[in-house]
Amino acid sequence: MTPKSWQLKLFYLILFLIPSNLAKHFILPSSYVSGILVDYLIPTIYLTDILILTLLVCNKGLSFVTVVKSSFFVFLLCLLPSIIFASSPIPAIYKYLKLIELVLFSLWVKQNINLKKHLQPIITILTLSTLFQSLLALTQWFKQSSLFGYYFLGEQPFTSASVGIDKITWFTGAIKIPPMGTFPHPNVLGGFLAVVLPLILYKGLNSNTRLRTLCYTSFLLGLLTLFLTFSLSAWLAFLLIGLPLTLKKIFKVRNLKFIFIYSGLFLILFSFATKFTFLAPQSSFSRRSQLTQIALKSFTHSPIVGVGLNNFTINMEHYGYITSTTRFLQPVHNIFLLILSETGLIGLAGFLYLLGSKLQQLRLRQKSEQVLNLKIFLIPLLTLLFLGLFDHYPFTIQQSLLLLFTLIN
């Protein structure tokens, strides 16, 4: 199906604005846990939500039959029990509606976007978005404050005196604030860059001179920004998944030779990186370990349907308490454990079925030119899922969720 010109432009605009954090928040009584406002429980309508809904409302080709025949329908069905039995239904319903929206958007992409035809403009848009975010983030780094404020695409307002914001100890001993771009946290910016930079590198090495210059500029600035986020999980995702798989595809290196050479280089780099303790403070490891224990305990309490979709932070203190100077109310830093604890075995099975169907689609269509382009987008998907082993944002934060469901189609 061929989309109309304005629909295609709107789709490209959504891609460019994936990093946007601009939104309207609706704070409800259910958004609080023991008197503390929890971001993940606040119903929120983002700028990208409005654009996606506009695209969907004006689309007549996406039928109910199309939805039912897709693996997304199985995924959504598997989440229903976790909503019915949720201790706090409003956050669960809000998250479910969000997932329905993103599922419909993903199906629209699958139905209307031909990667054989649209691959170059898609990567070009992501390249421009990365370049914009990198320039903004680098300026934030040198200024050590935000530039414009929240109404500039949702840029998080901060200064060097801000309380409750991530800070790191620089090599010189100075306290620094990692950049965020328009993302809500440096880790999310780092994750976005780890996912899209391999695509940009691939396109740069397979383009004409003009586009190659744009890709290389965006890649190098993005690489510097990725370093300055000090997100260890994003570094690992880029070095272990995104970069090696992209280089292997570009240079067609044999598996054993490639694994041997790259593993040696990675061990050298990782040994060097671990000398800097500011990359992963002991307190961060401790909190993540405690969150993991809480998730496992909540799963054993309700293994079939979980504690409720988007209900982890509401129920977490029933199963353990995080050692911290302040109340620490965050989801477990692993999306598979998060889905397991919130939606039980049924929900996790639905999510794994969704991912498995993506791989099956590649296997069945592996000889066509279309699938070669799909394989290119499999690399960022694997990178994002790898990030999900170490943080929750691929399944809890708007920008990463939108990126995930754009890649799964």
End-of-domain residue from the set 259, 280, 301: 280
Whether 25 and 140 share a structural domain = no
pLDDT tier for residue 313 given thresholds of 50, 70 and 90? very high
Indicate the helix (H) or strand (E) that contains 24.
Answer: strand 23-25
The two tokens of residue 190 are 């780092």
Phi first, then psi: give them for residue 306, nearest 5 degrees.
Answer: 75, -175
**CA angle (386 as vertex; 267, 82 as ends), nearest 5:** 150
What is the overall mean pLDDT for the chain? 87
Residues 203, 319, single domain; the answer is no
Residues 133 and 274 placed together within one structural domain of the fold: yes
Report if residue 172 sits inside a domain: yes
CA distance 29 to 34: 10
The structure tokens 């590649």 sit at 362
Residue 298 within any structural domain of the chain? yes
**Using CA atoms, how far apart are residues 352 and 77, in angstroms rounded to an integer?**
13
313 and 257 in a common domain: no
Predicted local confidence at residue 222, as pLDDT: 97
pLDDT reading at 259 higher than 60: no
For the cut 60, the answer to whether the pLDDT of residue 68 exceeds it is yes
Q: Name, of 105-109, 129-133, 145-149, 371-375, the range with top average pLDDT.
A: 129-133
H or E, element range at 217 = helix 209-228
Give the 3-state secondary structure of 266-312.
Answer: HHHHHHHHCCCHHHCCHHHHHHHHHHHHHHHHHHHHCCCCCCCCCCH
For the ranges 74-83, 106-115, 216-225, 261-270, the lowest mean pLDDT is seen at 261-270
Which of these, 373, 50, 372, 15, lies nearest to 192 by C-alpha position? 15
Give yes or no: residues 378 and 306 share one domain. yes
How many residues in the chain?
409
- Dist. CA 47–CA 154, nearest whole Å: 9
Spatial distance between the Cα atoms of 396 and 338, rounded to a whole number of angstroms:
10
Structure-block tokens of residue 202: 């691939």
Average pLDDT for residues 327-345, to the nearest whole number? 93
| One domain for residues 276 and 127 | yes
- Sign of the torsion angle spanned by Cα atoms 181, 183, 187, 189: negative
Lowest pLDDT segment from 145-149, 155-159, 160-164, 395-399: 160-164
Q: In this structure, is residue 98 part of a structural domain?
A: yes
Residue 324 has pLDDT above 70, yes or no: no
* 285 is a domain residue: no
d(CA 100, CA 288): 29
Pick from 254, 280, 306: which residue ends a domain?
280
Element (H, E) at 32: strand 32-33
Are residue 136 and residue 83 in the same domain, yes or no?
Answer: no
Q: How confident is the model at residue 193 (pLDDT cuts 50, 70, 90)?
A: very high
Identify the band that residue 289 occupies on the pLDDT scale cut at 50, 70 and 90: confident
Q: How far apart are CA 137 and CA 181, in angstroms?
A: 5
Per-residue pLDDT, 231: 93
295 is a domain residue: yes
Number of domains into which the chain is organized: 2
List the structure tokens of 321.
Answer: 């308490």
Encode pLDDT of 122-139 as tens digits. Answer: 999 999 999 999 999 999
Q: What is the pLDDT of residues 238-252, one digit of tens each?
A: 988 888 888 777 766
Range of the domain at 62: 1-112+290-409
Q: Look at 269 and 360; give whichever has higher pLDDT.
A: 360
**Confidence (pLDDT) at 169:** 80
pLDDT higher than threshold 70 for residue 10: yes
Structural contact between residues 22 and 46, judged by C-beta atoms closer than 8 angstroms = yes
**pLDDT, position 277:** 46
For residue 282, the model assigns a pLDDT of 53
Report how far residue 202's alpha carbon sits from residue 134's, in angstroms, rounded to the nearest whole number. Answer: 18
User: Residue with structure tokens 């771009």?
Assistant: 181
Distance (Å, rounded) from C-alpha 163 to C-alpha 43? 24
**pLDDT band per the 50, 70, 90 thresholds, residue 16:** very high
The yes-or-no verdict on residue 19 having pLDDT over 70 is yes
Instruction: Report whether pLDDT(274) > 90.
Output: no
Euclidean distance between CA atoms 75 and 60, whole angstroms: 23
Same domain for 132 and 63: no
CA distance 200 to 222: 10
Whether 383 and 297 share a structural domain? yes
Kindly tell me if the per-residue pLDDT of 195 is higher than 60. yes
- Over residues 337-359, the mean pLDDT reads 95
Q: What is the DSSP letter of 176?
A: E
Whether residue 95 is predicted with pLDDT greater than 80 in this model: the reply is yes
One-letter amino acid at 373 equals N
Of the residues 251, 280, 309, the one at which a domain ends: 280
Shared-domain flag, residues 355 and 275 = no
* Same domain flag for 75 and 151: no
Percentage of the chain beyond pLDDT 70 is: 87
Q: Are residues 124 and 255 in the same domain?
A: yes
| pLDDT of 300 | 95
